[in-house]
Amino acid sequence: MKFHFEIITPEKTVLKDDVDEVIIPTVNGQITILPNHTSLFTQVEQGEISMINNGKAQYLAVAGGFLEVSKNNVILLADYAVRSEEIEVSKAIEAQKRAEKVLKDSQEKVSKKDFALAESEFRRSILELKVASKRRKVNLPPGTNI
């Protein structure tokens, strides 16, 4: 018994598959969804999604969104989502450094909008690095903050 799982972001449909089990971080903590789950609507937090299919696990980094479960149909509307295999570590490190710089010399020069942008970029890059280092055994350069 499997259920249908979809992750859609404003940019693209990240995932569309039949799966056995999904673990999702929500505002009320992590939840596991198995087939025949009751209809549910909840808000998703930034974090890591684990998806188990035929005994094999896959991981994704997700940055908030909404989750709807109804009749073995699970749809996650995410602001942003990326599979762990597709995370570009060097790019994430670069983005983190860039954002960090903006956050450091804040207040005086940086506008509110830029600050908020940098903050979300910073969070996202940390998340990506965390998932990548945990799941792909990627060696991060020393001194990287995660």
Q: Which residues bind another protein (CB under 8 A)?
A: 8-13, 26-28, 38-43, 66, 68, 70-71, 75, 77, 113, 117
User: Min. distance of Cβ 93 from another protein in angstroms?
Assistant: 22
Closer CB to another protein, 113 or 137, in the complex: 113
User: Min. distance of Cβ 77 from another protein in angstroms?
Assistant: 6
User: Min. distance of Cβ 80 from another protein in angstroms?
Assistant: 10
User: Min. distance of Cβ 143 from another protein in angstroms?
Assistant: 30
Long-range contacts of 55-60 (CB under 8 A, 24+ apart): 58/83, 58/84, 59/83, 59/84, 59/131, 59/134, 59/135, 60/7, 60/14, 60/15, 60/84, 60/131
Closer CB to another protein, 77 or 103, in the complex: 77
Closer CB to another protein, 78 or 127, in the complex: 78
Closer CB to another protein, 10 or 141, in the complex: 10
Cα–Cα distance between 106 and 114 in angstroms, integer?
A: 9
Which pair of tokens denotes residue 124? 């996202």
Closer CB to another protein, 57 or 116, in the complex: 116
User: Min. distance of Cβ 89 from another protein in angstroms?
Assistant: 24
